[in-house]
Structure 1
Amino acid sequence: MGGRLFVAVLLTMTVFGSAVPSPGWAKGGREALKSKHFDLSGDAKTLFREAQLRNNTVMQSFAFDNVNGHVYVVQLMAGGQQLADEPAPVSGADRARNGDLALSKLDLEGNLLGHMFLKGFGHGVQIGVETEGDKTYLWTETDSVAEGKDGWGTQLARFTFENGAVLTNESPELEKFRLKENVDRTTVAIDPAYGLLTMRYRENGSFRFGVYRLEDVKQRRFEPIADVAQPSLGTFQGFASYGAYLYLLEGNAYGNNGSEAPLGNTYITSVDLNTGNLVDRQLITAGRDVLFREPEGLAVRIPDMRHPHKAELHFGFASTVSAENTSKLANMFYLDRLMPVQALKRK
């Protein structure tokens, strides 16, 4: 390439009538992916605070429907609920072991609009959203297998949101994808700007991230365009990708593993997907005044899909209603300063 650092590349396809940036990613000696990078040291802004979800458990992760202005949040189902196909209420411990999830649909002000229940899916570490025409598809883990006190997904699923529906991991509405054999702890994020799917998975005891073109996955072509190891982190709490960069969330609620008010131990780390090298790691102090404050979930939002280069990196915190009432609420903050495009070289 020439000496210019910025190279604008467009896909021949359009999404909702607007061009989206091409990954420009290929194997071999061809050009590596270029994209902007979120400034993790910037001041965070607030999307909403103290939103009520379908259940009163900790939010696990979330993702945005950028077309319709919605956010979907997943959490472990609360104990004591009895669904129509169940003979008796199920405890919270059994829900966690079974991988039973509650999925809430919110508007961007945090108002609850609808929900689904997902039985036997997993832990909900990260989810993705894809909007295709007038349909909104959720991407999640599924086929949960118990390990210790929790259930974890072993492959991916795609399904449409249907308010009030209850799905099991055997429901015909699910389209399942096994991107790699002999791996587990599979979770997924969608890059809405670059048309990519990132899967976190565990292989031989170690976590990695595989990046695929979303359209390839839907056509069952499972050839990754990048695959990087997870760096050493604290308690893992979510991930997202935007172009050439992977973003990782870590940390604990106040009072756990060295997390103390008001700063806590929440960090976001960025990784160059072309090389696997760490780019940045910053302490996140947004929402320092919320009670409990456990970091949960990362997601990229595109406020206007006609301008996919104007993006926001959102991160969530679970909070409690009060010191006496430990029912959990959802809080979301975001960073929106993007650093200039850089030409990245594979090593």
Structure 2
Amino acid sequence: MSEAMSRRGLLKAGAGFAAATAVAGVAGGRPALAEQGRFNLASPSYSILWQNKLHEVSGPQSFAFDNVNGHIYAIQVQWGNGTVERGDLVITKMTLTGTELGYMVLKGFGHGVSMAVEPVGNQAYMWTETDSQLYNGDGYGTAIARFPFQNGRTLQAREVTDKYTPVPGATIITPSIDPTLNRITVQYWRNGAKPYHYSVYNLADFKARRFDNPVYRFVEPQLGPADAVLQGWTTYREFLYVLDGNLLTGAPGNTYITCVDMRTAQVVHRSFSQAGISLDRREAEGMAIQLVNGTPRLCFGFGSGASGARRLSVFYKDAWM
């Protein structure tokens, strides 16, 4: 599939299949938010960014939207010796068409598998993992940080004053925010190992450190093959979406998106995706919810290109089950 087609957003996802329960038929029209169910993972995917250069030359890890001020933020491991082990990250701020507007360096934070943005007026607050600890050769966060984006600043993990430890002893912890419900979800390991756990909070409760009564708390069910590599996740209303796949060159790839009903902790849909299949060294990287005139999009990304010259491509789905 040509690059030009990707730029016009004419990529289609591979056919999906139900993984646990039968799925409902596709709804017509654009239902109101309160009436919407879940994204149709087998529907076509459309391009937002295509092989976009970030501030660093390393591969992207995840991204998030400032849906109020109209920006995209992407996070990647800082290029250089020891940066992966230390958990040093770089955030790039961009326009919605991918033009860089600034960057920020984070020292000792983690790996960046998921991030979130909280707009407060015209200021954007980043939510990331922090207090990185070494695991299996890479640094991963053990707490959640909130801090304002400040162009050009290098921020040390020890300098962050707004930190959260909702689950004592949790590791490999990352955040995501549902902008339609103002809920924050944290994904983490307990006892230093899989499976992934999830705790969902109203954002106001989380910021007030009221962690005892989350909206949901559940263990991730089996999504697919046991060796599937998690590459991103996000939530929309009552559903968790998880992206998995490996770095592969050429078709067909092995990227899947899975939907989990957080009320039951059951898989309700899993679908194979060939969005961006023409990318060289294509690797699934990150998920987020974008709002366009109030309409939500399920967005997911890919890194591509050779080592030292990696790029970010982002696609979305907006059809409903």
TM-score in terms of structure 2 length: 0.85
Instruction: Quote the residue 1:240 is aligned against.
Output: 234
Equivalent residue number for residue 78 of structure 2 = 77
Q: Helix, strand or coil: the match of 2:114?
A: coil
Q: Of the candidates 308, 323, 327, which is equivalent to residue 309 of structure 2?
A: 327
After superposition, residues 307-322 of structure 1 pair within 5 angstroms as: 307=294, 310-320=295-305
Answer yes or no: is the 8 Å Cα contact 1:76–1:102 preserved in 2: yes
What residue identity is the alignment partner of 2:98?
A: G
Deviation at 1:36, TM superposition (A): 2.0
**Within 2, Cα distance between the matches of 1:228 and 1:335?**
26
Q: C-alpha displacement at 1:326, in angstroms?
A: 5.2
Give the counterpart of 1:266 among 248, 252, 255.
255
Aligned partners of 1:326 and 1:75: how far apart in 2? 12
Consecutive unaligned residues in structure 1, runs of 5 or more: 1-19, 23-33, 80-90, 256-260, 340-347
Cα displacement (A) at 1:230? 1.7
Aligned residue number for residue 96 of structure 1:
84
Question: Which letter maps to 2:288?
Answer: A
Q: Distance in 2 between matches of 1:39 and 1:75?
A: 29
1:199 equivalent to 2:164? Answer no
Distance 1:285 1:178, change over 3 A: same
Q: CA deviation at 1:338?
A: 2.4
Bigger-Rg structure (1/2) = 1
Question: Do structure 1's residue 285 and structure 2's residue 274 form an aligned pair?
Answer: yes
- Render the CA deviation track for 1:251-288: whole Å, top value 9, x for unaligned: 01115xxxxx2120000000000000101000011101
- Once residues 315 and 96 of structure 2 are traced to their aligned partners in structure 1, the CA distance between those partners, rounded to angstroms, is 12
The answer to whether the 8 A contact 2:36-2:320 is kept is no
1:112 positional shift: 1.1
Which residue number in structure 2 is paired with residue 16 of structure 1? none
State whether structure 2 residue 132 is matched by structure 1 residue 144: yes
Counterpart selection for 1:122 from 105, 110, 113: 110
Tell me which of 287, 292, 296 is aligned to 1:303.
292
Match for 2:215 among 225, 228, 242?
Answer: 225
Counterpart position of 2:246: 252
Question: Deviations for 1:210-231, whole angstroms, at most 9, x for unmatched residues?
Answer: 1111111111111311012123
Secondary structure of 1:263's counterpart equals coil
Separation in structure 2 between the aligned mates of residue 262 and residue 231 of structure 1, nearest angstrom: 28
For 1:43 and 1:137, how far apart are their aligned partners in 2?
A: 32
Q: Could you say which residue in structure 2 is the equivalent of 1:26?
A: none
Structure 1 stretches of 4+ with a deviation exceeding 6 A read none
CA distance in 1, matches of 2:259, 2:142: 25
Aligned-pair CA distance for 1:35 = 4.8
Q: Does structure 1 conserve the Cα–Cα contact (< 8 Å) formed by 2:58 and 2:308?
A: no
Match status 1:135 vs 2:120: no
What is the one-letter code of the residue matched to 2:318?
A: D
Could you tell me whether the CA contact under 8 Å between 1:35 and 1:243 is conserved in 2? no
**Which residue of 144, 151, 154 maps to 1:166?**
154
Q: Matches of 1:327 and 1:231 in 2, distance apart? A: 36
**Whole-angstrom CA distance in 1 between matches of 2:255 and 2:248:** 10
Matched residue count? 284
TM-score by length of 1: 0.79
Tell me the CA shift for residue 106 of structure 1. 1.0
Which of residues 175, 199, 205 in structure 2 aligns to 1:188? Answer: 175
Number of the residue aligned with 2:44: 43
Distance 2:86 2:71 in 1: 28
Counterpart in the other structure of 2:164: 177
CA distance in 2, matches of 1:126, 1:338: 24
Any conservation in 2 of the 1:35–1:244 contact (CA below 8 Å)?
no
Which ranges of structure 2 fall in alignment gaps of 5 or more residues?
1-31
Give the 3-state SS of the residue equivalent to 1:210 in structure 2. strand
SS at match of 1:170: helix
Offset at residue 21 of structure 1 (A)? 6.4
Report the Cα distance in structure 2 between the residues aligned to 1:161 and 1:244, rounded to whole angstroms.
Answer: 29
Write the distance in 2 (CA, Å) between the matches of 1:225 and 1:249: 23
Aligned-CA RMSD value: 1.7
